Amino acid sequence: MSKEKSQKIPEVTIRRLSAYHRCLVRAREEGMKVISSSTLAKNCGVNAAQVRKDLAYFGKFGIRGMGYYVDGLFTDIKRILGIDRVWNMALFGAGNLGTALLFYKDFLKQNYHMVAAFDIDPEKLQKGAIGGVPIYHPDKLPEITHREKIDIAIIATPVSKAQGVADQVVQAGIRGILNFAPTRLSVPDNVVVKDVFFTNILDNLVYLLTASR
């Protein structure tokens, strides 16, 4: 798939692919061989036409009148999303949220491995590891990034530290950032940042609640 082609695909389609992937994981666990677009749609809370349209971006996947081979579609979506390999992640800031992420089990199921955590708190460094993930001082970032082949940085520091950490992360050659610190990070164009701002998500929820009253 060329860069040009892939970049035209709407972000909502990618988000839905990720949801289809989750449904296909369950379908495989249940031993299903073939799944209809309407079943897939129902399990993901969209309509069947939307499923067919989303999958059409990436070529023909369906078997006319039947649906999709579960294994085939599962493998194809993994490849499209780039999750057909292991992605190594490092956590920055082992506070309450950071610690919760170190214990988060759902990452592993989807080929996301937490390989290192960074914090400056001497007590945490003394412990050596949280949730089985080794903790290092940020001074070690360049060395650990190289040794552990870190692809993604998860920033869960206070707002005041987030940009500094992002700068160090980028300098170490990491190109993907999942940012939980409620502030916009400034990074070079070749670095991808995804923000998870809980209050923005709540704002959105509250807007929908207000609008539908």
C-beta of 64 vs 189, nearer to its own copies: 189
Choose the binding region for its own copies from 41-49, 50-58, 60-68, 134-142 (rule: CB under 8 A).
41-49
Residue from 66, 120, 129, 201 in contact with its own copies (CB under 8 A): 201
Does residue 56 touch its own copies according to CB under 8 A? no
- At which residue do the structure tokens 């579609």 appear? 73
C-beta of 30 vs 65, nearer to its own copies: 30
Q: Please enumerate in sequence order all residues whose Cβ is within 8 A of that of 56, keeping only pairs 6 or more positions apart, or say none.
A: none
Q: Would you say how long the chain is, in residues?
A: 213
Mapping DSSP to helix (H, G, I), strand (E, B) and coil, where does residue 183 land?
coil
Does residue 197 touch its own copies according to CB under 8 A? yes
Q: Restricting to residues 131-170, which ones interact with its own copies according to CB under 8 A? A: 151-152
Q: Please enumerate in sequence order all residues whose Cβ is within 8 A of that of 131, keeping only pairs 6 or more positions apart, or say none.
A: 99, 102, 103, 114
CB of residue 187 to its own copies, shortest distance in Å: 11
CB of residue 76 to its own copies, shortest distance in Å: 13
C-beta of 64 vs 105, nearer to its own copies: 105
Q: Please enumerate in sequence order all residues whose Cβ is within 8 A of that of 100, keeping only pairs 6 or more positions apart, or say none.
A: none
Does residue 103 touch its own copies according to CB under 8 A? yes
Inter-CA distances, 163 with 88, 146, 159, 181, 207, Å: 21, 21, 8, 9, 30
Sign of CA dihedral 92, 93, 96, 102: positive
Q: Where are the alpha helices (DSSP H) in 36-87?
A: 37-44, 48-56, 70-81
* Residues at the interface with its own copies (CB under 8 A): 1, 3, 6-7, 11, 14-15, 17-19, 21-22, 43-45, 80-83, 87, 89, 95-97, 99-101, 103-104, 106-107, 109-110, 112, 151-152, 175-178, 182, 184, 190, 192, 194, 196-213
